[in-house]
Structure 1
Amino acid sequence: MSLAGVKCLVTGAGGFLGQTIVCQLLGENLAEVRALDKAFSSETLQRFADLKSTTLLTIMKGDIRDTSFLRKAVHGISLVIHSACIIDFLGEVEKRVLWDINVAGTQLLLEMSLLHDVKYFIYTSSLEVTGPNRKGDPIYDGDEDSIYQVTNGFPYAETKREAEKAVLELDGLPLKDGSSFVTCALRSMYLYGEGSSFLLKHVDEAILNNKVFSRMSQKEALVNPVYVGNAAWAHVQAAKAMRNPEKGKQIRGRFYYIADDTPHFSYADFNHELAKELGFGVEPKLAMPLTMLYCYALLLEIVSFLLRPFVRYVPSFNRHLLTLLNTPFTFSFKKAQRDFGYKPRYSWEEAKQRTGRWIAEVTLERAASLKSRKV
């Protein structure tokens, strides 16, 4: 099933994944793509313009919590891809703000979608909806049927879990035209690729450390990252499947893990794998035993709590982040492959080359900037 003639709204369209989704949709002969975000960089807008698509691209700048703005955004739309959210692993964002945008914003978008008879709704979820839990229980090659003890965790994970639940629970609601609302959620693995702010942060730190990546994850803590182009392509393929009467029945109201053929690495070793041909190294072991790192993280959290009445201090790492980085957590994408025909668009070699070229481009620029700042 194609998307020809469809009008689609993409939220978070100025973000890392969102803009990649928009770019891929512009090659699918849609009638219109509405790109919604609070702000767009000049680089993102230029990236859209360079595609020279025949599809109408409408840039919509506004807040997902604005009812009148969302009403205008969904009017006449049949497909919503909701990738907008605030990502926070360190506790830098107030919990109230996280819930306001990630949960209340999603609920408002759902309300406006149902009010205006939007037929299809895809939610960009997160692996953190699953875990790791506080105990750091591992998963090796898990799938959608894996039983895992989820514990109340960091606020970001809680907001993504609650928003995903809201999306999936509304599947099947009747619409005015006699059809029913169709929803699904895609839980992507750790995203990498050109333009990743997380990867850029690690590159910056490595440059200041004589081009050596710091190690915060043990070698055996394997995860399976996914290239941003493949995660975006999964959204496009899910959208096509939703419009297919047979495949649509299979995926509605369900969540799917989205990975690709990227080899399994620890986070630190993965950064090194992407940049080693550019002369980057990686620390051979953790700076101190993992137990001591947890104790140190706890101490920093206590200091942050004690200082809260006077100043907002956010430690550079915490116990939650250490658990994320040091828990083996890998998943299969076979169910997505089986139910809606997901197949990675880019091979591991191509994804690695694309990401490596981008790292090479930014390294010279960032190195000069960071060194001058350091002086």
Structure 2
Amino acid sequence: MTQQSTKPVLVTGAAGLVGRTLVRRLVAQDRAFIAVDRVTSIIEDGIAINGCDLGDIHGLHALARDGIDSVIHCGAFSGPMVARDTPYAMVQINIVGTANVLELARVHQARRFVYCSSTSAYGVTQSGVPIVEDSLLRPGSLYGASKVASEYITTAYAEQYGLSAVNIRLSWVYGPGRTTDCVIRAMIEDAQAKRPTRMSFGQDFPRQFIHVDDAADGLLRALDAVALPRTTYNVTGNGRVTLGELAALVRRVFPEADIELQNGPDPMDEFQGQFSIQAAQRDFGYEPRVPLELGIRAYAAWIESRARQAAGA
């Protein structure tokens, strides 16, 4: 791992699920950082978020005017279910925004640029064959295509301008802090409210989840690795489960949970095989540490705590 610089790490999307976890980890490590998101705010633990749109290149440069050590770029629309009716905004934020942050990193000679990509870049994949980073990319959504385009731009910056840059493909991220569409959260909230969960699909449909703490760990390990032999890595959880198997895990946490799923694919998602994480394990020591059942329990506790806080407000 590298020696820590006194200059700050710039984190975009710092008010989002992964970004919040990252900046809290940087605080725990006593590292300097600049947290950026669309709106100025104060999040948990009193961490200040600087408001700056990714399209505001002058505002980004103003935030970094005293120099930066490196960049973790998480700022983007966060999944294929988001901004489906505003494709132009998806392109502007996910692709042009990435180019703006890359230019910032180039001008300020950042030590490393870590791009938070997605396994949506692969599109539909085969079952029974480990999905490695060099697999053919066939994104089936504009979101997935925006991740592919941003990966290519990131790699081009690395090759043409000598920027040390890497793309980290995360799978379905869940855990404390996730408030957007999430099947795990839906099952937990229904169980806590003693509501039935009914889905007309999913019993045999697989996903490879990753807990937000593991996602942050993978990004930070890529940030701090002395050298990275590859430009792209899968960073996911080890377990690939069907939504039916996920429902069984939720029932272990909530024995009274009433969950019924039908067979068939998720109409809003793509079928994907098991993602290999061997390259990340080998090159920067990534290992997922949060088993899915433990992650569900932690997520349930967080959701319950937020509900109590809201009730007491």
TM range (shorter): 0.7 to 0.9
Q: Deviations over 1:68-105 (max 9, x none)?
A: 11112333002000001013534534111100000011
Inter-partner Cα distance in structure 2 for 1:274 and 1:260:
17
C-alpha contact (below 8 Å) 2:10/2:70 kept by paired residues: yes
Out of 268, 271, 274, the position equivalent to 1:330 is: 274
RMSD: 3.0
Local SS of the residue matching 2:169: strand
In the other structure, the counterpart of 1:357 is 301
Aligned counterpart in structure 2 of residue 124 of structure 1, from 116, 120, 138: 116
Shift, 1:250, TM fit: 1.6
1:103-118 correspondence runs (5 A): 103-118=95-110
CA distance in structure 2 between the partners assigned to 1:223 and 1:119 by the alignment: 34
1:189 maps to amino acid: S
2:95–2:150 Cα contact (<8 Å) kept: yes
Quote the Cα distance in structure 2 between the aligned partners of 1:202 and 1:347: 19
Match of 2:64? 74
Distance 1:361 1:60 in 2: 27
| Higher mean C-alpha displacement, 353-362 vs 107-116 | 353-362
- Residue pair 1:221, 1:329 contacting (<8 A) in 2 also: no
More helix by share: 1
| Cα-to-partner distance string for 1:29-76 (whole Å, 9 max, x where unaligned) | 32x21100012665xx2x233xxxxxxx66311111002111123330
Distance 1:336 1:193, change over 3 A: same
TM-score (norm 2): 0.85
- Tell me whether 1:170 sits opposite 2:154 in the alignment: no
Instruction: Give the aligned partner of residue 204 of structure 2.
Output: 220
Structure 1 match to 2:232: 255
C-alpha distance in 2 between matches for 1:104 and 1:142: 28
| 2:249 maps to 1:273 | yes
* Structure 1 position 161 matched with structure 2 position 148: yes
Q: 2-side partners of 1:13 and 1:61: how far apart?
A: 10
Quickly say closer, same or farther: Cα 1:5–1:275, change in 2 above 3 A.
farther
Aligned to 2:195: 211
Summarize the Cα distance change of 1:61–1:69 in structure 2 as closer, same or farther, 3 Å threshold: same
Question: Which residue of 2 is the match for residue 301 of structure 1?
Answer: none
State the SS of the aligned residue for 1:9.
strand
CA spacing shift, 1:264–1:229, aligned 2, 3 Å: same
Hey, what does 1:282 align to over in structure 2? 259
The aligned runs of 1:23-38 (5 Å cut-off) are: 23-30=24-31, 32-38=32-38
Given the alignment, which residue of 186, 192, 201 partners 2:168? 186
Select which of 340, 344, 352 maps to 2:284.
Answer: 340
Cα distance change of structure 1 residues 27 and 221 upon mapping to structure 2, 3 Å threshold: same
Give the total of aligned pairs: 306
The structural deviation recorded for 1:27 is 1.9
SS at match of 1:142: coil
Check the 8 A contact 1:213/1:272 in 2, yes or no.
no
1:109-136 Cα offsets, whole Å, 9 max, x none, are: 1112212222210000011001126xxx
Alpha-carbon deviations, 1:234-285, whole Å to 9, x = none? Answer: 11111110xx2xxx1424xx11111234x32123542552465233232142
Q: Secondary structure at the match of 2:9?
A: strand
- Report the equivalent of 2:133: 144
Unaligned 5+ runs, structure 2: none
CA distance in 1, matches of 2:52, 2:189: 33
Aligned-pair CA distance for 1:28? 2.0
CA drift of 1:154 comes to 1.6
> Does the aligned pair in 1 maintain the 2:154–2:166 contact within 8 Å?
yes
Q: TM-score, normalised by structure 1?
A: 0.72
Does structure 2 conserve the Cα–Cα contact (< 8 Å) formed by 1:203 and 1:363?
A: no
Give, as a single letter, the amino acid of the residue that structure 1 aligns with 2:45. Answer: F
Assess if the C-alpha contact under 8 Å between 2:176 and 2:298 holds in 1. yes
Q: Aligned with 1:260: secondary structure?
A: coil
